[in-house]
Amino acid sequence: MQETRLGQDIVHTGVPGLDELLGGGVPRGTTIILEGNPGTGKTTLGIQFLLEGARQYGESGIYITFEELPEQIYRDMSGFGWDLRELERQNKLRIICLEPDVLLDQMMRTDGLFEQLIREIDCKRVVIDSISLFRTLGGLQTDGREQIYSVRNIMRKFNLTAFFLREYGEWEGRSTPFENYVCDGIIRLSLREHMERFRKRTIEILKMRGTCIVEGEHHYRFLSDGICILPALSMVEDKIVSDGVARLSTGIQSLDDLLFGGLPQGSAFMLDSNSKANYKYLMTSIYAERIKEGDCVVFMLSGLSSVETLEQSLELFGASLREAALEERVFFIDHYHRQVAPEYEKSVIYVDRLSNGEYQKKVYEAINPYFRESVVEGRRWFIHYDLNTVLSERGREYVKRHFADEMARCRAAGVTVLCQSNFTEIGLETSSFLERASNGVIRTWVDGSYQYLQITKSPGGRMSAPHIVENIRDRPYVRLI
């Protein structure tokens, strides 16, 4: 039984990693161009599509080659341990070598050789290696469009899922070839420079009708048993990881999706942003959620954010800081000794002009009694840690000596921490140490006219693709696209 997607009959390629990029597979009856330079693996991937079809899905296939003799293919593919002759004996595969015009002729005839062959083995998959030769038919003036169009129509007529192989670059510089329009998908294999001395093989899906694809270039490798594709950033969208830890919503649905539901309770996440990026909405949305959920929140104030500005921005997100203060579940660590409204007086821990030792002691003593009590009540704790402030007020050495330790203690106590930082300003050495000491990193930056956001580290070891941060009119005022 094939899976269906919105009522579609889906054909799984069976090539490791490829179906994941294709949202499960390709719709049955589609024609896909598989292009690449010589040696990129077109033949291998084409054969693998037929082989896996036969082995895993009980679907027979035909490989039509204009350029290589079957013998050559048997020999080349035996390198992967594939016994194609045996599949032919079982009527699961046919490898045929003929001239393009002969193929066309046989295809066009009712009950021609092609139709007979299809019936004979109940063929479902076809690979044509390659369509480039169609261009030589019909004289120099044509681009083979009539021929390619006819072949595509025949594939559709018999509901065959087909790969048309094509040399990449043969049409470079000219206008987009006709077949790009008439075929349903285009997959490109490339061999690129990589880290100066190396090369990397990448696969990219440029077009695929009726399928939700994973964008971008993905590595592929030749393994001893065929091609294996390694989807980049092992995407999160359609996978739900439930590791038993509660997830704290960020208040931004699209960000929660990237985080499998939110920040894992007890984790330490970095929010790394460059100075141009607007991270305020992201942060405020996260804290507003915590306050609305009834959690205890500790805010480390910076030179720019005071209790007052915090109150105002949280108000925008529908969270009342004042109420939370009256309920004794918010605390502020202030290095700048600013006056606050009377309701907040008990909540502020002033740490200006304190040595590092005194600072640690004061914060601990101020929070600890509440912490013990609230944990008994089942309250969750969330800490906003402003790394730039700690670095400038407590010094780099303090951060290096205590940060990992502080995070580990929070983790053990089930306290979730969000550290705001600017890795570029902090410098490579310290920032890579900070990155190591945290469970996850959310990076947001401005490039040109867009702000981007990407999860570059997460507890499960996954990254997300970079998303564009778009401002919207209503709460939570941002969304990721």
Ligand X SMILES: Nc1ncnc2c1ncn2[C@@H]1O[C@H](COP(=O)(O)OP(=O)(O)OP(=O)(O)O)[C@@H](O)[C@H]1O
Q: Which residues of this protein are in contact with ligand X, per CB under 6 A? A: 36, 38-44, 76, 79-80, 222
Residues between 23 and 42 that touch Mg ion (CB under 5 A)? 42
Closest approach, Cβ 457 to ligand X, in A, equals 32
Contacts of 299 (CB under 8 A, 6+ apart): 287, 305, 310, 330, 331, 332, 333, 384
Picked from ligand X, Mg ion, none, the partner binding residue 30 (CB below 5 to 8 A depending on kind) is none
Token representation of residue 280? 């305020």
What is the rounded distance in angstroms from the CA atom of residue 203 to the CA atom of residue 40?
10
Closest separation in Å from C-beta 34 to ligand X: 9
**Residue number, 17 or 251, with CB nearest to ligand X:** 17
3-state secondary structure of 22: coil
Measured from the CB atom, is 35 or 406 closer to ligand X?
35
Query: Which residues, other chains included, contact 65 with Cβ-Cβ below 8 Å and sequence gap of 6+?
Result: 73, 95, 96, 97, 129
Q: How far is the CB of 33 from ligand X (least distance, A)?
A: 13
Q: Select the binding partner of residue 79 from Mg ion, ligand X, none (C-beta < 5 to 8 A, by kind).
A: ligand X
Instruction: Tell me which residues in 3-22 interact with Mg ion (CB under 5 A).
Output: none
Contact 64/126 with Cβ under 8 angstroms?
Answer: yes
Please choose which of Mg ion, ligand X, none residue 39 contacts, taking the beta carbon within 5 to 8 angstroms, the exact cut-off set by kind.
ligand X
In 6-62, where does DSSP find H-type helix? Answer: 18-21, 42-57
CB closer to ligand X, 115 vs 167: 167
Question: What does 40 interact with, of ligand X, Mg ion, none (CB < 5 to 8 A by kind)?
Answer: ligand X
Cis peptide before 130 (omega within 30 of 0): yes
Can you tell me which of 8, 40, 43, 273 binds Mg ion, judged by CB under 5 A? 43
CB of 127 or CB of 252, closer to ligand X? 127
Give the nearer residue to ligand X in terms of CB position, either 129 or 406.
Answer: 129
**Which residue, 43 or 347, is less far from ligand X as judged by CB?**
43
Residue 85 Cα distances to 62, 75, 78, 93, angstroms = 13, 10, 10, 8
Torsion angle of C-alpha atoms 270, 274, 278, 280, degrees rounded to 10:
40
Counting contacts by CB under 5 A, is residue 416 touching Mg ion? no
Q: Indicate which of ligand X, Mg ion, none lies near residue 139 (CB less than 5 to 8 Å, by partner kind).
A: none
Q: How far is the CB of 360 from ligand X (least distance, A)?
A: 58
In the bound complex, which residue of the shown chain has the CB atom lying closest to ligand X? Answer: 79
Q: Which residues lie closer than 8 Å to 301 by C-beta, 6 or more apart?
A: 307, 310, 332, 333, 334, 335, 336, 338, 386, 389
Q: Between vectors from CA 331 to CA 329 and to CA 335, what angle results, nearest 5°?
A: 175
Minimum distance between the CB of residue 233 and ligand X, rounded to whole angstroms? 25
Distance CA 233, CA 238 (A): 13
Sequence-distant (6+) residues with CB within 8 A of 316 are 284, 475, 477
**Total residues in contact with Mg ion, by rule CB under 5 A:** 2
Q: Rounded to the nearest whole angstrom, what is the least distance from the CB of residue 183 to ligand X in the complex?
A: 18
Q: How far is the CB of 242 from Mg ion (least distance, A)?
A: 44
| Closer residue to Mg ion in complex, CB, 42/135 | 42
Tokens 């939110």 sit at which residue? 262
Q: Quick one: 182 exposed, middle or buried, by C-beta within 10 A (0-12, 13-18, 19+)? A: middle
In whole angstroms, the minimum distance from the beta carbon of 42 to Mg ion comes to 5
* Strand spans (E) along 12-122: 26-27, 31-36, 60-65, 93-97
H-helix or E-strand containing 316? helix 307-316
Identify what 13 binds: ligand X, Mg ion, none; CB under 5 to 8 Å per kind.
none
Q: Which residues contact 259 (CB under 8 A, 6 or more apart)?
A: 236, 247, 250, 440, 455, 458
Q: Which is nearer to Mg ion, 42 or 462 (CB)?
A: 42
State which residue, 72 or 306, has the beta carbon closest to ligand X. 72
Q: Minimum CB separation from ligand X for residue 30, in Å? A: 21
List residues binding Mg ion (CB under 5 A): 42-43
